[in-house]
């Protein structure tokens, strides 16, 4: 069995997490030549405005397409962190928005690697568009984990974002890389 990496992107509707999941999966498959499954499961929480997207990336065929033990969890809201932190495997990466997520269950905080960065405020203040927080988040996530190559991610972003927004999104991606680099230095 090849190496399998499970990623969940969680927050609220309108944060572009499904698009982020599709971009990450396409980076892995079309540009990095791995296999991937990207999915969203919707239950009652979707009617309450929550949103989550999953990406499983593997060198080999993916037999079971649902995440069972997350390697990487991104949370852009406190609610999503409360709900999903239990699904992260010991030693896994919990990447949260520094301003939105104030509390992490203490029992889990000790078992996982927590990275707090200003994703949404960077999108708003540096890029001028809260809408690109999803791309900033992807940049940081990939800079820290290298779950896909940075070139593959860049190509996948360019392949998916609306025409005319390429520069905006590349700036957002670069800001995300920078957040990831800064974090690594600390």
Q: Which spans of this chain sit near a second copy (rule: CB under 8 A)?
A: 18, 22, 25-26, 28-30, 33, 35-43, 46-47, 61-62, 65-66, 162
Distance, CA of 173 to CA of 154 (rounded, Å): 8
DSSP 107-154: HHHTTSEEEEE-HHHIIIIIIS-GGGHHHHHHHHHHHHH-SS-HHHHH
3-state secondary structure of 73: strand
Distance, CA of 73 to CA of 50 (rounded, Å): 15
Residue 14 Rama label (left phi>0; alpha psi -120 to 50; beta)? left
Shortest CB 142 distance to a second copy, Å: 17
Question: Nearer to a second copy by C-beta: 31 or 183?
Answer: 31
Question: Nearer to a second copy by C-beta: 32 or 100?
Answer: 32
Place of tokens 């070139």: 151
Shortest CB 64 distance to a second copy, Å: 8
Residue 182: count other Cβ atoms within 10 Å of its Cβ.
12
Which helix H or strand E contains 167, and what residues bound it?
A: helix 166-185
Q: Are 131 and 16 in contact (CB under 8 A)?
A: yes
Shortest CB 143 distance to a second copy, Å: 23
Shortest CB 126 distance to a second copy, Å: 24
Question: Nearer to a second copy by C-beta: 163 or 185?
Answer: 163
Shortest CB 85 distance to a second copy, Å: 22
Question: Nearer to a second copy by C-beta: 56 or 104?
Answer: 56
Question: Nearer to a second copy by C-beta: 29 or 122?
Answer: 29
């Amino acid at each position: 069995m090849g190496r399998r990496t499970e990623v969940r992107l969680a927050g609220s509707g309108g944060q572009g997490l499904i698009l982020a999941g599709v971009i990450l999966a396409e980076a892995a498959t079309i540009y990095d030549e791995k296999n991937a499954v990207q999915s969203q499961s919707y239950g009652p929480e979707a009617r309450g405005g929550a949103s989550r997207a999953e990406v499983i990336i593997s060198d080999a065929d993916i037999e079971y397409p649902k995440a069972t033990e997350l390697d990487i969890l991104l949370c852009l809201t406190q609610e999503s962190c409360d709900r999903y932190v239990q699904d992260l495997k010991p030693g896994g990466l919990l990447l949260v928005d520094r301003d939105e997520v104030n509390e992490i269950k203490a029992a889990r905080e000790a078992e996982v690697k927590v990275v707090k960065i200003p994703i949404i405020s960077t999108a708003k203040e540096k890029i001028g568009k809260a809408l690109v927080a999803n791309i900033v988040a992807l940049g940081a996530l990939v800079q820290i984990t290298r779950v896909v190559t940075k070139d593959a991610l860049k190509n996948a972003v360019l392949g998916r974002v609306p025409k005319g927004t390429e520069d905006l999104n590349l700036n957002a991606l670069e800001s995300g890389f920078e957040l990831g680099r800064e974090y690594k230095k600390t």
